[in-house]
Amino acid sequence: MIDKGSVRARMLGGLAVVAIVAAACSSSTASTAPSVAPSVAPSVAASTAPSTGASPSAAGAMYTIGVSNTVAGNGWREEMICSIKAQSLVSGQVSGLTVLHRNTDAAGQLEDIRNLIAKKVNAIILNPASPDALNPAIEEAITAGIVVIAVDQAVTAPGAYLMANDQEQYGYLGASWLFKQMGGKGAVVYMRGASGASADKDRDTGFKKALAENPGITIASETYTGWDQTKGVQQINDFLATGKPYDGIWTSGIDNVIVSALKAANAKMVPIVGADNAGFVTQLLNEPNLKGAAVTNPASVGGAGVTLALKILGGQKPAASAVLVTPAVWDNTTDAGKAALTAANNPAIDPTWPLGISIPNWTTYTQDQILACKGPGE
């Protein structure tokens, strides 16, 4: 049975992945084996990308953009918002940016989307709280002629576009690397994201695919962290208190605090998978007893979503409805992986921010501009 929360499943039902060849990246998609990125910028695989030489929208046209985000205070989401602001500013095509950025649920996000519709924005960029609960408001927006771009996680509303990391591949690549480090046997602590989130469902699909390929691996514990670092630390401490054996840890992007918790508890340091968060990358380079891998998950899909919206508003509609960024694995167990980690490492970036701060051909701001986190008129 196909999970409607899976991006790949929806594509089998009609969505094709847009393929974009980054200037310094391979044109092929990620293989079934983990790969190592040669540079900080994430690659985007594909075939029908808009021309990178064209203006993002019609000459001289100016647009207003609304943003709806339901998680505040999370490093990944904060970077996403800053990416949206920075790209809106440098595009020269955004005259107004309304950002509704708060902690709320699907019901609250429905209200926020309808408020943006009432403001008559030209495009709405949202990180959805639910793959389908927002459909009524999204359909209202599309009917009103508003371009809707979901970033990070997909929605099922017809007519909406998607700009996201390939979350299924994210789960698969990290799990495959981890299970190989474990020698294909042993118990793994599986620390997921938020229950019901489409990104979590897609990552779980990838994780379970790798698990099926490694029958000697068992799950010692499975938790939903909600992508909350404090909650994740409590969960790993609760697990350690049980005394159950474990041989590896897969985390859904709350990695650095798990490493710190193991150290604080004088617990066994095992191979750990996380995301390309600045704090975890620093640990991978400096913790002598840590074997780990960071799987790229760029929050800059937010800024890329701005570019996609402007292209559509300017008459450059893509042939397909989804753009998926291909993740890469940066590990500290190979020379190539260490080189990628070293190239990515940046003490100027907040420890909770992912280091893929730009996406070739889709974001054009500088590092200083995303760190300034200023949009048009600010």
Average pLDDT along the chain: 86
Lowest mean pLDDT among 27-41, 110-124, 305-319: 27-41
Over 60: is that where the pLDDT of 148 sits?
A: yes
Over 70: is that where the pLDDT of 32 sits?
A: no
Higher pLDDT, residue 145 or 6: 145
pLDDT at 196: 87
Q: Is 151 helix (H, G, I), strand (E, B) or coil?
A: strand
d(CA 21, CA 48): 9
Over 90: is that where the pLDDT of 68 sits?
A: yes
Q: What percent of the chain shows pLDDT beyond 90?
A: 80
pLDDT at 61: 74
Mean pLDDT, to the nearest integer, of 32-56?
36
At 252-292, the pLDDT tens digits run 999 999 999 999 999 999 999 999 999 999 999 999 999 99
Mean pLDDT, to the nearest integer, of 178-182?
98
pLDDT at 347: 86
Mean pLDDT, to the nearest integer, of 297-308?
98
Burial of 97 (0-12, 13-18, 19+ CB in 10 A): buried
At 81-109, the pLDDT tens digits run 999 999 999 999 999 999 999 999 999 99
Mean pLDDT, to the nearest integer, of 206-235?
97
Q: How sure is the predictor about 12, in pLDDT bands with cuts at 50, 70 and 90?
A: very low
354 CB-near residues (< 8 Å, 6+ apart): 75, 76, 79, 275, 276, 277, 278, 296, 297, 298, 299
Mean pLDDT, to the nearest integer, of 214-229?
96
Q: CA torsion angle for 237, 240, 242, 246 (degrees, to 10)?
A: 140
User: Which amino acid is residue 242, in one-letter code?
Assistant: T
Over 70: is that where the pLDDT of 11 sits?
A: no
User: Which amino acid is residue 151, in one-letter code?
Assistant: V
At 351-364, the pLDDT tens digits run 999 999 999 999 99
Q: How sure is the predictor about 8, in pLDDT bands with cuts at 50, 70 and 90?
A: very low
Bridge partners of 149, per DSSP, are 125, 161
Over 70: is that where the pLDDT of 43 sits?
A: no
Mean pLDDT, to the nearest integer, of 41-52?
38
Q: What structural domains and CATH numbers belong to the chain?
A: 7-166+298-328+357-372 (3.40.50.2300), 167-295 (3.40.50.2300)
- C-alpha neighbours within 13 Å on the C-beta side of residue 345: 16
Bridge partners of 188, per DSSP, are 219, 248
Lowest mean pLDDT among 30-39, 41-50, 223-232: 30-39
d(CA 342, CA 125): 33
**DSSP, residue by residue, 4-55:** TT-HHHHHHTT--EE----TTS-SSPP-SS----SSSSPEE--S-PPPTTS-
Task: For residue 233, give the H/E element and its range.
Answer: helix 229-242
pLDDT at 309: 98
Q: How sure is the predictor about 60, in pLDDT bands with cuts at 50, 70 and 90?
A: low
